[in-house]
Amino acid sequence: MDIANHTVVVTGGASGLGAAVVRRMVKAGSRVAIFDVQKEKGEALAVDLGAKGIFCLTDVTNAGSVQNSLARVKENFGNISFLVNAAGTGWVERTVSKTGPHSLETFEQILRLNLIGTFNVASQTAWTMSENHPDEQGERGVIVNVSSTAAFDGQIGQTAYAASKGAVAAMTLPMARDLAGMGIRVVTIAPGIFNTPLLAMLSQEKILALNNSVPFPKRTGDPEEFALLVEQIFQNPYLNGEVIRLDGGLRMAPK
């Protein structure tokens, strides 16, 4: 689909990969709504974008919060054509440690944000997209969900994170099939190690080791490279129901 003069919703858009997508979409001529719980960062980014951007304080795990934010977007910008589900977080905790079993509460929280939040926003936005007039190829919208290479190469301590991201990857094809009749495409990106606040949680020693483990190029990914792939997905009408690894050929070691 043509990006210019359309509206894009980006969850987790106040920082990291989401913020890179927000800036690239505005540069491409679209209007962008930032859905995030980081109020100060989200509002500051929206101010930088001017009339092309708005910030909506949004809890992606709450159906009412998402519904209210989508209504605000339609009121300000009209119909929504694109969604990028970048909201999420990581966690490191072994299934069993010296102190006992993995916290069930934490496991549920990670799945609630990374998986349920993704589905909540995707399903509600798809309903809004279904009201769009189709373009010349019959498209009404595109949804890009964000998984992780941990979905396939989960490391020690990543049980909760890998489970949540693996489920996002697994629902790509059935969601694409569900929405095909409406002319809505669904694609998932599974990024490797990127220079984001999530990576900053690791030690410099760990980051250096990860860099060296990437076949080529031997470095962390640039969020702008992630945003570039999002743009290419939006523009390629034959790309649907696919999970794309964006990782420089990285395959994660056990630890």
Which residue shows structure tokens 């679209």? 30
Task: Choose among 57, 63, 65, 52: nearest CA to 38.
Answer: 57
Instruction: Please identify which of the residues 55, 82, 161, 194 carries the catalytic annotation.
Output: 161
What sections of 91-222 are H helices per DSSP? 104-111, 117-129, 150-153, 159-170, 172-179, 204-213
Contact (Cβ atoms closer than 8 angstroms) between residue 27 and residue 232: no
Q: Residue written as tokens 């960062």?
A: 41
Q: Catalytic: 161?
A: yes
Q: DSSP class of residue 134? A: P
What residues are paired with 2 via a beta bridge? none
Tell me how many degrees the CA angle 231-234-238 measures, rounded to the nearest 5. Answer: 130
Q: CB atoms < 10 A from the CB of 73, how many?
A: 23
Catalytic residues: 161
